[in-house]
Every structure is written in C-alpha cells, then in structure tokens.
Amino acid sequence: MRALRAFLLVGVAALAMGAVACKDSTSPAKPTVTGHWLGTIIATGQSGTISITLAESNTAVTGSGSLQGPGGTLAWTVTGTDVYPNVSLTLTATGFNPANFTGTLNSAGTSMVGTLNGSGWTNLAITFVKQ
C-alpha cells in the first residue's frame, strides 16, 4: 500500500506542476491607435499639420481631426480599421473628396508611418506621432 500511495502522490504532484506550466500566459496587449496624433505634410512646396483624435473598439476606428495649413483650418471626421500592425483611415471633410491613410503602427503604439492618397494627394508620405 505504501508504494501505491507514493505513486499517487508523485502522480498528483506531476499533474499539478503540468497544470501550472500549461497555464495560458497573458500576452502583452497590442498597441492601440486610441489617442491624439500629429503629423506634418509637405506638398507642392507648402506644409501643413494634420491633427487627429482617435478611438478604437476592437478593430474599428473613429475620430475627428483637422488640417492646418496656409489656407486655414479644415475639419474632418475619421473612420477606419486597426488590424495591428496595419492601420487604414479615411479622412472626410465636407466639400472635399476623402483622403485615405494606409500605414503601420509601431510596436510601442507611438507612431504610425504610411501614405495619404486621394483628395489631391498621391502617395504622400506621413508619420503620425502620438501626443
């Protein structure tokens, strides 16, 4: 009886250790685009600042922002997706064609690098920095 009991105790201990070792570890949270972002563009010899404030729910992104340049300030709404690391945003302003940002979010969630297309821009490079 002693050998069986020792065998069972060793077996239970091995199972307990295996359960701890197989415990699903929590992976680091993916970075998010939620927050305030600034980017600078230079097109046709003039510069401007794009400011956007974004909120993310699952992969859906919504927000608002503005373009400040020599012609004044233009407000827009933002919709898109964040399927890490790929970010796709559509910037829509009343009276203008939409502009599309396609880029990638860095692993720290502090910058998005990509291009703007549409509304007069073609592959315009931009880096957004989280504020």
Q: Write a three-state SS string for 23-67.
A: CCCCCCCCCCCCEEEEEEEEECCEEEEEEEEEEEECCEEEEEEEE
Parent domain of 50: 35-130
- The answer to whether residue 84 scores a pLDDT higher than 50 is yes
Write the single-letter amino acid at 67.
L
Query: Which of 22-26, 66-70, 77-81 is least confident?
Result: 22-26
Give the residue-averaged pLDDT of 16-33: 67
Domain membership of residue 62 (yes or no) is yes
pLDDT value, residue 93: 96
CA distances (Å), origin 87, targets 58, 65, 83, 99: 13, 16, 6, 14
pLDDT-derived band at 2 (thresholds 50, 70, 90) equals: low
> Average pLDDT of the chain?
87
CATH number of residue 107's parent domain: 2.40.128.120
Asked if 46 and 118 touch (Cβ cutoff 8 Å), the reply is no
Domain membership of residue 14 (yes or no) is no
pLDDT value, residue 28: 81
Domain membership of residue 27 (yes or no) is no
Residue 17 CA, distance from chain mean position? 38
The count of domains in the chain is: 1
